[in-house]
Amino acid sequence: MLRKMVSLGFDLATLPARMTFKGARAVVAMPGDVEHFMREIRTVSDEVAREVQLVLDAVDAEMRQKSAHLDTRQKQQAAAIALGAAEQHLSMAAINVLRALWLTMDANRELGRDENAVVIEQDR
């Protein structure tokens, strides 16, 4: 079941990339370049699929072991707690991404100097 959910989520998450790839493929003029690019994409895709499979297998084994003694009601309660924690973590991750983006953009702004501002200089 976990694999089906992840598979569907992965399909939806990769849809924009797949559409972009199809558009980029149409732009590439030389057939050799497309074939090389396709081999690279397949190699990376296979590596990612293996890593995802390892993570899914590890989670599956861990949860089977940890939840073997729980009944259905307890599993539902644990699932609700886990979803709540995940929501909090994702919310904070989104906020941290926005903070990082703001700081990056702010760091790249050119510092202007107000001609009417008072400048306090310190001699050492």
Domain residue ranges in the chain: 1-66, 69-105
Cβ atoms of residues 54 and 63 within 8 Å? no
Q: Tell me which of 17 and 102 has the higher pLDDT.
A: 102
Please report, rounded to a whole number, the percentage of residues in the chain having pLDDT higher than 90: 28
Q: What integer is the mean pLDDT of 84-101?
A: 90
Mean pLDDT of 108-119: 65
Greater pLDDT, 31 or 61:
61
Residue 76 burial (C-beta neighbours within 10 Å; 0-12, 13-18, 19+): exposed
Considering only residues 36 and 49, tell me which one the structure prediction assigns the higher pLDDT: 49
User: Going by C-beta distance under 8 Å and a sequence separation of 6 or more, which residues neighbour residue 28?
Assistant: 34, 37
> What sections of the chain are H helices per DSSP?
2-27, 31-66, 72-108
Instruction: Decide: 15 and 21 in contact? Cβ < 8 Å.
Output: no
Beta carbons within 8 Å of 34's beta carbon, 6+ residues apart: 25, 28
pLDDT value for 36: 76
Is 55 a residue whose pLDDT tops 70?
Answer: yes
pLDDT at residue 78 is higher than 90 = yes
First CA to last CA across the chain, in angstroms?
69
